[in-house]
A and B are shown apart, each in its own frame.
Chain A
Amino acid sequence: MLESRIRDLLLAARNSARKKGINAELSLHREKSSLIRLGNSSVALSTFEELTRLGVSVQDGRKVGSFSLTADITSQEQLQSALAQAHENCKAALPKNYDPIFGTVEEAVDDSTGYDPALENLAPEAKTKLCAGVVKALKPKGSYDFSGSWSSGSAEMYYISTANDNEAYRRLTDSRFVMVLKEQNRKWELSVERTAKRTGTFTAEDVAAEFAALLPMYEKNEGFKTDIGRQRVMFGPQAIAELVMLAIWGGFFGRWFEEKRAYTSSMKSGDKLFSEAVTITDDPTHPDVFGMPFDFNGKIRRSFSLVEKGIFRGVLYDSLTAARYKRQPTGHDLENWDIVLATGDGPAGIESGRKLAADALYIPHLHYIHLPDPTKGMFTCSSRFNAMRLEKGEFTAPLFSTRVTDTSPNVFSNVVAIAPDSVTVNVSSTYGQREPTAMSVPEYLVCDNVRITDVADSF
């Protein structure tokens, strides 16, 4: 549970709001974050932030106002001032033409199962040492540079409202490691990533071995410029995570669905959407993801089916959209979902997968994906790290930067094979506060008829 010094202040603030007849929701986010930034085979920067953010939202009938504060929370005076500010915003607000859903903690939650004090306090020296180990193990020549980043830390999330006495609390740790090896003259880039909930899950030797396995293909072969047109593509984990996120972004936001801005807008639950092999779930109970147990409207998060064996099941409603369109909120008043693309019955391992794919492009990472037309589920992006040409099931050349412009329904309706094993991909962003977010995706996904629209003369 949250440190009693702060918890007592928050509970007292809730009680005082109740006494004054104010409907208030209070949320707290505390983080300890540290990061090392690698560049030119050096640790160019090492950072540490310890931050507390308080959020207050006040609702009076159809009027809502909110206020947030980033500061060390030490006094009731601060909380009262934040509450007063949110209340002022509420008083001045224009009433909505629908009834907003006031936040209510459905059930008390006290979850620290994902918390590892050793990871919270992982010293920058330990990170530097591991990175130095990778550099040393590979002994790269003069034109090779390592860059990357390694973020680790803890986050605490606490949420209460005047609706009842329940408290929702969650504390967890996470780590995201990315190392990039770049050849300065030919400018190709290889990447190795690791995500973790605890310390000690990977070593310099693991990382170096993964680079070493990729290096010969890039060192010995010229880049391959593929043809524009439709091709078979074998996607790797980071690329799959991006494709799934885009499929959700374009098709599964309640707001976009209701307003005919989604490619699913004309569909109803039970309609066929993707290949039968495709099952997408937001599943906080899945062991590989970070598993957020509640949202910031107080809803307990349970497994939610988006696509089941290719069948469209339903879209995600935050409380705002749900209130406006008279739907039930689905536990999505938050940034950090727990998306799982189910594994399939393809052969195990990349090696077997590539034999099955035979002649294809292997694209494990996608860069800068965006939606030119969400109503068609159209996305565009380009290949990045570790991409290779596959001929007769063998990697034969590294790929030059290749643009894919296609639609989510097309890609996920042309599935050839899905790997039987899953990989966790860390998709956390660190804009604003620390929000550990991961997806569980199959090790590979082979699709036919993927549309290649441009190829560069460089990696």
Chain B
Amino acid sequence: MAMKTEAIGSIIKAQFERMLSAGCSFADARFYDEDRYQRVVLYDGNLESNTSRYERGIGVRVLKDGAWGFAATANLEAIPACFDRALANARAAAQLLGFQKDMGPAQTIKGRYRPPVERDPFEVPLAEKLEFLKGIDTRLQDKTVAHRYVGATFQRRRVNYQNSEGTEVDKWVLNTFGNMMVMTPDKQGRTQRRSLELYGKGTGTRGYEWLTDPDWFSGHAERIKQELAQIVAAEPLPPGKRDVILLPGQGFLQVHETIGHALELDRILGYELSYAGGSHVRPEMIGKLRYGSEKLNCRSGVTDNSPGTFGYDDEGSAQRDYMLIDKGILVGVLSCRADLAEANAKAGRTIVKQSGTATRACSFYRSPIDRMTNINIDPGNDGTLEDIIKATKDGVILDVPVSWSIGSNREHFHFGCEIAWEVKDGKRTKVYKNPTYQGHTLEFWGSLDMVGDQSTWELRQVPNCGKGEPNQVMELGHGIPVMRFRSVQTGEKE
């Protein structure tokens, strides 16, 4: 039987009372009244994914004697039992405890968040979506293209968050993702590819209308086809040290992997070591570490239109905009309330004063962990992409990741990209295929010497950031300008 949303709200409130009486210092619940997902993919014109998903359930956390217990169920008749299970879990956890977790000063928040949407994708008929994708597929067809792919993913979640401090947040999540790719073998018979993901400028709305705006998606179909033809005819990037100009389509992943993940406080504190890894950053470095050159300004931003903007995190804290790296110095981290005291104790001084409002869960059946928000690089004052090219004697422009491999503490990295354009004496000359580059995080960011202006700044969506145990996939954003790095190791020697 579908249980009424209001009834569930009052059942949850009664459980908070019960948990506090049982000695818990804090309890919260995320009720997902609806979690919908849809994915449609045309592969060589064939509808190879045509699926939708619906989930409904509740995830609850309790903090008892400084330890967390979590439990989740889709059986909404069993909410009291779910709290009991979370309590039993917390009790078991408390038997092996070093630093006691606490939520810090109590806060009571009443909040509501709705993402900016003109047309809810779940109100758009499937036939209309397929007709739109078919139109792009037709444009991707060409005798020079061996295989083509175009797909879209839609998400809508209606979440009610409550906690024992009286906070109540009514939040919707709505995401629209699109991607297209063309592939064809090169002279050696090895398939090359060129692709594009739906992107933007961080403004506007994020409903179905974003996908159908040609500026951010369909309008690029011909361009990626032409660039694929150039890649296929190109030589591999010769190995060597040269300047690297990252377009936002590659820069977002550089930021994601070597800044974003490294600045998640749970990684810094060692809670992710057995799976995702740790961080080269230690708590005492916050406020002191030179992370990059003076050109590097990185923030956890509240961008108007991005999957990394969610109004309130999964502790009910209102999302803040704050600096992570200020003129190259590390000044902030991505955090939740419950880890602040531990970070400060480890650092031996106050390094984080308030929550980074960055704790989120991917579904009702996962517990919130520190996640990236919008990890943005502020635009610089080194002009347009053309200005940066003009100022470059020997370099390559790189776009769109093919592969990424990062050291377990995010201290070094290796990336492969779809395309490279050689830059010689201030001019874009030719295309290279199979470009790769590698480096060490602090040295690499230290070599950042040009940052493009607002005209180069783009909002890139990440629909699939993986982390945590049990594993969670999260959506987030990166606002990134064009960036130039000096003397980077590029290409493969053999």
Q: Which residues of A contact B (CB under 8 A)?
A: 33-52, 63-72, 74-75, 85, 88-90, 92-98, 123-125, 127-129, 131-132, 135, 145, 147-149, 151, 178-180, 182, 184, 187, 189, 191, 259-261, 265-266, 320, 324, 367-373, 375-376, 378, 380-382, 384, 401, 403, 405, 429-431, 451, 453-454, 456, 458-459
| Contact A454 B414, beta carbon cutoff 8 Å | yes
In the complex where A67-B51, A372-B434, A381-B405 touch, is A132 in contact with B95 (Cβ < 8 A)?
yes
| Contact B411 A92, beta carbon cutoff 8 Å | no
**Residue on A with the closest CB to B472?**
A431
> Cβ of B35: which chain A residues have Cβ within 8 Å of it?
70
B70, B183, B277, B342 interface centre (most CB from chain A within 10 Å): B70
A89 to B42, CA, bound (A): 14
> Cβ of B234: which chain A residues have Cβ within 8 Å of it?
none
> Cβ of A33: which chain B residues have Cβ within 8 Å of it?
470
> Cβ of A66: which chain B residues have Cβ within 8 Å of it?
50-52
| Contact B90 A431, beta carbon cutoff 8 Å | no
Known interface pairs A147-B273, A149-B275; 10 further A-B residue pairs with C-beta atoms within 8 A, sorted by A's residue number: A47-B69, A69-B55, A89-B52, A92-B126, A94-B42, A370-B403, A431-B471, A453-B438, A454-B438, A458-B280
| Contact A41 B96, beta carbon cutoff 8 Å | yes
| Contact B71 A371, beta carbon cutoff 8 Å | no
**Residue on A with the closest CB to B77?**
A72
In the complex where A261-B183, A367-B277 touch, is A64 in contact with B67 (Cβ < 8 A)?
no
**Residue on B with the closest CB to A229?**
B493
A458 to chain B, nearest CB (A): 6
| Contact B414 A147, beta carbon cutoff 8 Å | no
Interface residues of B in 115-154 (CB under 8 A from A): 125-127, 130, 134, 146-147
A449 to chain B, nearest CB (A): 11
> Cβ of B405: which chain A residues have Cβ within 8 Å of it?
368-370, 380-382, 403
Question: Could you name 14 residue pairs across A and B whose Cβ atoms are closer than 8 Å?
Answer: A36-B93, A42-B97, A44-B68, A45-B68, A71-B55, A71-B56, A89-B52, A90-B50, A124-B89, A128-B93, A147-B272, A380-B416, A382-B405, A456-B411
| Contact B89 A456, beta carbon cutoff 8 Å | no
A36 to B89, CA, bound (A): 9
- Whether B92 is near chain A, meaning CB under 8 Å from some CB there, is yes
| Contact A259 B191, beta carbon cutoff 8 Å | yes
Interface size on B, residues (CB 8 A): 93
| Contact B47 A132, beta carbon cutoff 8 Å | no
- Whether B365 is near chain A, meaning CB under 8 Å from some CB there, is yes
A132 to B90, CA, bound (A): 16
Which of B47, B72, B412 lies in contact with A93, CB distance below 8 A? B47
| Contact A260 B190, beta carbon cutoff 8 Å | yes
Interface residues of B in 141-186 (CB under 8 A from A): 146-147, 183, 185
- Whether B1 is near chain A, meaning CB under 8 Å from some CB there, is yes
| Contact B50 A39, beta carbon cutoff 8 Å | no
Which of A40, A92, A259 lies in contact with B183, CB distance below 8 A? A259
> Cβ of A149: which chain B residues have Cβ within 8 Å of it?
274-275, 469
**Residue on A with the closest CB to B129?**
A92
A34 to B266, CA, bound (A): 20
> Cβ of B275: which chain A residues have Cβ within 8 Å of it?
149, 178
A189 to B267, CA, bound (A): 14
> Cβ of A324: which chain B residues have Cβ within 8 Å of it?
46
| Contact A260 B57, beta carbon cutoff 8 Å | no
- Whether B408 is near chain A, meaning CB under 8 Å from some CB there, is yes
| Contact A68 B51, beta carbon cutoff 8 Å | yes
Q: Is the interface of A mostly helix, strand, loop or mixed?
A: strand
Which of B47, B73, B147, B402 lies in contact with A259, CB distance below 8 A? B147
B410 to chain A, nearest CB (A): 10
In the complex where A430-B471, A454-B438 touch, is A47 in contact with B412 (Cβ < 8 A)?
no
| Contact A52 B74, beta carbon cutoff 8 Å | yes
| Contact B274 A403, beta carbon cutoff 8 Å | no
| Contact B412 A372, beta carbon cutoff 8 Å | no
> Cβ of A320: which chain B residues have Cβ within 8 Å of it?
48
Interface residues of B in 66-111 (CB under 8 A from A): 67-77, 85-86, 88-90, 92-99, 101
| Contact A451 B494, beta carbon cutoff 8 Å | yes
> Cβ of B214: which chain A residues have Cβ within 8 Å of it?
none
> Cβ of A260: which chain B residues have Cβ within 8 Å of it?
146, 185, 189-191
- Top 6 closest pairs, chain A to chain B, by CB: A372-B416, A375-B190, A124-B92, A46-B89, A39-B271, A70-B55
**Residue on B with the closest CB to A94?**
B47
| Contact B273 A187, beta carbon cutoff 8 Å | no
B474 to chain A, nearest CB (A): 11
Interface residues of B in 269-291 (CB under 8 A from A): 269-275, 277-278, 280, 282
A44 to B89, CA, bound (A): 11
| Contact B412 A401, beta carbon cutoff 8 Å | yes
In the complex where A40-B99, A259-B146, A382-B405 touch, is A405 in contact with B414 (Cβ < 8 A)?
yes
In the complex where A35-B469, A66-B51, A320-B48 touch, is A44 in contact with B93 (Cβ < 8 A)?
yes
| Contact B416 A41, beta carbon cutoff 8 Å | no
| Contact A49 B365, beta carbon cutoff 8 Å | yes
A17 to B75, CA, bound (A): 26
**Residue on B with the closest CB to A371?**
B403
A36 to B436, CA, bound (A): 38
A41 to chain B, nearest CB (A): 5
B405 to chain A, nearest CB (A): 4
> Cβ of B93: which chain A residues have Cβ within 8 Å of it?
36, 42-46, 124, 128
A403 to B412, CA, bound (A): 9
Which of A70, A88, A431 lies in contact with B53, CB distance below 8 A? A70
